[in-house]
Structures are given as structure tokens and as C-alpha cells.
């Protein structure tokens, strides 16, 4: 067994190795096998592992094919001593008090409001589009009322909003659509916005004031010591055993377990019976440069198709670290690689429904998370989904326990009746 190192890296865990969480490694009870096998040590799998172990005293085996916990939120300290996100920036934001209260059991927080700039017309301007964006692009001096009127003058009404292009053109017009959205979306998805569901761009607001925050949620913070440390604390329970570098296929027939929670790709679980569900992937280039700061905010977007990457992230803005050097990540969308983003098109939704029907007909297996339900979720949404699923499991467990107690009580009554009847017959 190999413990995670203090900075949250996997410490060279061997393939299939059992990785001990800090402090406690002994199982609370010794019955062979596990109550639950959970596939995937990201948010969905880890939250459910913690809840099942803590609240229901279940024995959980949590596996992941990667060499670390925390899924795509995994962060670690690089050679420069800077905390970076291996899979691109993960910014925590939510309006859910329940989610904040739950995660706060495992981490303290560093307040952080995310701001993003876009490199457009050879200058950096706020995105989402706001009053400042319009003033800088067009050399204007605007009031909020002026900005609203300006955007209305640019907007091109769309009779029926069906695609991502419809959403943006209908809100801000074709010129701003071309400057900010079309190229970025084509790079990110490998498709034109006119070919994508409206949900892709409907999440991005347009503002007529100077609010330059990327998100408007009531709670916006970063885990004080990073995501990986938060996950380590979450999984620090004697009923939880973690195996990394472990593929589900390698253990599905080798490990004894009663129920399975699967947060991997649902099509892979069913051996791609109906074909592969399409995803977009990402490639990351991590660099450390010999300067204290590189850009004015954590993330700068590059919408132009003339630039291969979509954005550059500088992590010191997220962490508040002080260091003479700074670390960056360049993000390149890709067709192949780890599955990150389900591609929102009607034919893909129809293909997923076929797999969902298989899942519904599969006993003692529950599919969760982005990959398990083929849907894009923010981190807080995945936590909320996992907490809701646990509640259903808890209610089922209590109901089944009540029925079992009633059955045992009835059996005792029936046994007493039979004994008394036998005694009466003997008399």
C-alpha cells in the first residue's frame, strides 16, 4: 500500500495498487467482499463513497483507471511549487447551500470570483459581453441604458431558437457572434454553432452593466488547499478502500460486491452495443515561465480560429500563491482522447436513450455523473446529483430494513403460534 503524498500526487502507485487515504486505513468490519463497488473517483463516485461509508456503514471499494483520485478536478504541485490543475481550470461556483455545507466538511475555502478576458481585435475585453466590452470594442461611452439599446440594435430576431447560433445572433447580432462565439465554438466542438443544440451557448449571459464576473452564483470560492486535498479528506474513512490504475473490466468478476455504482462511460459499460457516444476531448500543454505574472486574469480566451488553442490559464490567480515564476496551461480541443464533453446533438441524445433503456433494465447497477448519464454538469451539479442519489439509496435501505424487521417479527409470531399449536395438540 502506498499513501498519497502531501501535495496530492499519487506517489507512484503501481497498477491496481490499493491507495491508503491519510490517517485511517483499517476496515471497520471484516466481512469478506464489499457492499458497493464504485467506478470512478471523481466527484460523483467519491461523494457517494463517503456518504455510504459514513451514514450507512457500507464497505466501499472505489476504483479509478487513472493514477489519482479527484477525476478531472485533480490538482498537484509542479516542480516550481505551484498548484496547477492537470485537466484545465476548475472553478467552483454554486447557488446550493446544501452542496457548500457538504463540501465544507472536507475543505476550507479561498474566496475567488472568476474573471475571463477574450482576445478580440488585438485587445483583451471582458467575456461575457458587458458594458465595458462594448465601450472598448467600439470606442463608445455608454450608460447601462445605452448598452441595452446598442445590443438591441445589433440583435437579429430568430423566429424559432433551435441552435447555438440562434441563441447568440438573436441576443447580440451576427457581428458580436462572429467575434466572440463562432470561432471559439468551432474549435471547442469541431462543429459550427448552427449544428449544435441551443444549450451550448445559452449558459453564457450578456450584461449591460460593468459586472465582469464570469459567474453570478452566490458562492464562488476555491478549495483552500486544492481539490485533491479535499478529496483525500472526503475519502478518509475506514470503510473505504481505493484502487488506482484499475480498470473496471479487470475487477468486475474478481471482486465480491453487492451493488455497483458506475460513473464511467455508459456506452463502454455495455460494450458499445449501439455504437460509441460522441465526445469532445482536450489536450493540455503545461508551461512554467520565468516571470511573476503572465496575464491580468486567470483565463484568457482566444476565439479566433487562427489560434489553435482556445484559452490560456494562469493558476496563481486562482490560488493566490506568491512565486517569482508562474505556470500556464494552453488548452487544445481534440476529437480523440479522454471523454470530456458530450456532444449535444439530437441524434446523440437518441443514441443515449438506447443505453439508458439498457441501464434501467440492469439490476443493482446505478449510472451517475457526466459519463454515466451523458450530460454536461458543473461540479456542484454532480455533487448535488450524488447527494440526491444517496438520499434515495438511504430511503430504500430504511424501507428494506423495516420490511426485514417486520418479516422477522412475523416469523417469530408464526413460530410461537406453531409451538403453541403443537403443545395444544400434545395435550
User: Quick check: 248 and 24 in contact, CB under 8 A?
Assistant: no
Q: What is the SS3 assignment for 283?
A: strand
Angstrom distance (rounded) from CA 74 to CA 144:
40
Exposure on the CB side of residue 153, measured as CA atoms within 13 A: 7
- The domains of the chain, with CATH numbers, are 1-69+235-278+343-416 (3.40.50.720), 116-202 (no CATH)
The predicted pLDDT at position 426 comes to 52
Angstrom distance (rounded) from CA 59 to CA 35:
5
The predicted pLDDT at position 373 comes to 98
- β pairing state of 34-39 and 60-63: parallel
- Give the DSSP H/E element, type plus range, for residue 188: helix 183-189
Q: For the whole model, what pTM was predicted? A: 0.88
* Beta partners for residue 38, in sequence order: 62, 261
Q: What is the pLDDT of residues 192-222, one digit of tens each?
A: 999 999 989 887 889 999 999 999 999 999 9
pLDDT tens for each residue of the chain, 427 residues long: 233 333 444 444 666 655 655 443 334 444 579 999 999 999 999 999 999 999 999 999 999 999 999 999 999 999 999 999 999 999 999 999 999 999 999 999 999 999 999 999 999 999 999 999 999 999 999 999 999 999 999 999 999 999 999 999 999 999 999 999 999 999 999 999 999 999 898 878 899 999 999 999 999 999 999 999 999 999 999 999 999 999 999 999 999 999 999 999 999 999 999 999 999 999 999 999 999 999 999 999 999 999 999 999 999 999 999 999 999 999 999 999 999 999 999 999 999 999 999 999 999 999 999 999 999 999 999 999 999 999 999 999 888 776 666 555 555 555 554 555 455 555 5
CA distances from 19 to 4, 87, 230, 253 (A): 7, 21, 16, 21
The predicted pLDDT at position 360 comes to 97
The predicted pLDDT at position 356 comes to 98
Amino acid at each position: 500500500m502506498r499513501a498519497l503524498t502531501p501535495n496530492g500526487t499519487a506517489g507512484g502507485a503501481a497498477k491496481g495498487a490499493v491507495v491508503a487515504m491519510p490517517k485511517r486505513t483499517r476496515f471497520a468490519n471484516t466481512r469478506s467482499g464489499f457492499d458497493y463497488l464504485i467506478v470512478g473517483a471523481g466527484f460523483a463516485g467519491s461523494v457517494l463513497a463517503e456518504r455510504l461509508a459514513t451514514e450507512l456503514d457500507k464497505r466501499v471499494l472505489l476504483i479509478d483507471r487513472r493514477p489519482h483520485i479527484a477525476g478531472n478536478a485533480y490538482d498537484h504541485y509542479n516542480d516550481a511549487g505551484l498548484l496547477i490543475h492537470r485537466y484545465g481550470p476548475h472553478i467552483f461556483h454554486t447557488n446550493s447551500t446544501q452542496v457548500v455545507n457538504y463540501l465544507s466538511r472536507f475543505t476550507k475555502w479561498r474566496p475567488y470570483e472568476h474573471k475571463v478576458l477574450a482576445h478580440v481585435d488585438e485587445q483583451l475585453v471582458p467575456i461575457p459581453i458587458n458594458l465595458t466590452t462594448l465601450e472598448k470594442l467600439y470606442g463608445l461611452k455608454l450608460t447601462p441604458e445605452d448598452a441595452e439599446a446598442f445590443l438591441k440594435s445589433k440583435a437579429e430576431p430568430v423566429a424559432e431558437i433551435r441552435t447555438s447560433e440562434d441563441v447568440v445572433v438573436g441576443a447580440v447580432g451576427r457581428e458580436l457572434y462572429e467575434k466572440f462565439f463562432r470561432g471559439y465554438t468551432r474549435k471547442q466542438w469541431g462543429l459550427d454553432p448552427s449544428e449544435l443544440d441551443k444549450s451550448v451557448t445559452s449558459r453564457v449571459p450578456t450584461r449591460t452593466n460593468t459586472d465582469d464576473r464570469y459567474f453570478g452564483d452566490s458562492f464562488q470560492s476555491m478549495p483552500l488547499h486544492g481539490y485533491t486535498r479535499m478529496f483525500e479528506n472526503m475519502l478518509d474513512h475506514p470503510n473505504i478502500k481505493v484502487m488506482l490504475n484499475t480498470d473496471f473490466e479487470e475487477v468486475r468478476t474478481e471482486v465480491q460486491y453487492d451493488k455497483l455504482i458506475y460513473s464511467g462511460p455508459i456506452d463502454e459499460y455495455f460494450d458499445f452495443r449501439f455504437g460509441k457516444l460522441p465526445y469532445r476531448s482536450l489536450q493540455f500543454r503545461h508551461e512554467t515561465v520565468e516571470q511573476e505574472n503572465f496575464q491580468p486574469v486567470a483565463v484568457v480566451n482566444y476565439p479566433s480560429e487562427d489560434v489553435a488553442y482556445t484559452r490560456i490559464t494562469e493558476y496563481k490567480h486562482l490560488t493566490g500563491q506568491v512565486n517569482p515564476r508562474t505556470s500556464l496551461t494552453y488548452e487544445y480541443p481534440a476529437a480523440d482522447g479522454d471523454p470530456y464533453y458530450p456532444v449535444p446533438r439530437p441524434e446523440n441524445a437518441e443514441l443515449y436513450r438506447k443505453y439508458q433503456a439498457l441501464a434501467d433494465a440492469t439490476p443493482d447497477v446505478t449510472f451517475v455523473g457526466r459519463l454515466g448519464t451523458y450530460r454536461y454538469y458543473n461540479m456542484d451539479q454532480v455533487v448535488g446529483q450524488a447527494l440526491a442519489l444517496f438520499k434515495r439509496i438511504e430511503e430504500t435501505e430504511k424501507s428494506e430494513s423495516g420490511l426485514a424487521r417486520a418479516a422477522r417479527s412475523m416469523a417469530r409470531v408464526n413460530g410461537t403460534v406453531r409451538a403453541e399449536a403443537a403443545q395444544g395438540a400434545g395435550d
